[in-house]
Amino acid sequence: MNPSAPDQFSALLAAAAAIGARTDTAMRSDLETALADCDPLLIEVLHYALFNGGKRIRPLLTVLCSRCCGRDDAPLYLLAAAFEYLHVATLAHDDVIDRADHRRGRPSVAARFGPTAAILAGDWLHARSMHLIGRLAGADGLDIFCAATAAMVNGEFAQLRHIADLNTKQHHYFAVIRQKTSNLIASACSIGALYAGADRRQRDALATYGDRIGAAFQVVDDLLDFKGESGTTGKKTGNDFVEGKMTLPVLLALEKASAEQRQVMKTLLEGDRSQVEALARIHALVEDLDGFKGAARIARRLIDEALEPLAIFSRGQQEQENTERLRELAGFILARKK
**Separation between Cα atoms, residue 296 and residue 48, nearest integer Å:** 34
Percent of the chain beyond pLDDT 90? Answer: 86
CB count in 10 Å sphere of residue 82: 31
pLDDT in tens, 36-68: 999 999 999 999 999 987 789 999 999 999 999
End-to-end CA distance of the chain: 9
- Rounded mean pLDDT of 311-329? 86
Average pLDDT over residues 308-325: 85
> Tell me: the pLDDT tens digits for 281-304?
999 999 999 999 999 999 999 999
Would you say residue 230 has pLDDT above 70? no
Per the DSSP assignment, residues forming a β-bridge with 102 are: 107
Q: Per-residue pLDDT for 74 more than 50?
A: yes
Convert the pLDDT of each residue in 111-155 to its tens digit. Answer: 999 999 999 999 999 999 999 999 999 999 999 999 999 999 999
Binning pLDDT at 50, 70 and 90, where does residue 6 land? low
DSSP state of 52: S
- Mean residue pLDDT across the chain: 93
Which domains, and CATH codes, for the chain?
Answer: 7-335 (1.10.600.10)
Query: From CA 217, how far away is CA 178, in angstroms rounded?
Result: 11
* pLDDT at 5 exceeding the cut of 70: no
Sign of the alpha-carbon torsion through 215, 220, 221, 222? positive
* Residue 51 Ramachandran class (φ > 0 left, ψ -120 to 50 alpha, else beta): beta
More confident position, 54 or 166: 166
Model-level pTM?
A: 0.92
Mean pLDDT (whole number) for 219-234 = 80
pLDDT of residue 234: 57
pLDDT confidence of residue 194: 98
CA distances for 1 relative to 39, 190, 199, 225, 338, angstroms: 32, 22, 30, 18, 9
With contact defined as beta carbons under 8 Å apart, do 241 and 282 qualify?
yes
Mean pLDDT confidence for 247-256: 97
3-class SS of residue 1:
coil
Q: Distance between CA atoms of 198 and 194, rounded to whole angstroms?
A: 5
Give the pLDDT mean for 92-115.
Answer: 90
User: Looking at residues 92-107, what average pLDDT do you find?
Assistant: 88
Check: CB of residue 31 under 8 Å from CB of residue 88: no
Q: Looking at residue 3, what is its pLDDT?
A: 46
Report the phi/psi class of residue 297: left, alpha or beta, with left for phi > 0 and alpha for psi in -120 to 50: alpha
pLDDT over 50 (residue 101): yes
Encode pLDDT of 170-200 as tens digits: 999 999 999 999 999 999 999 999 999 999 9
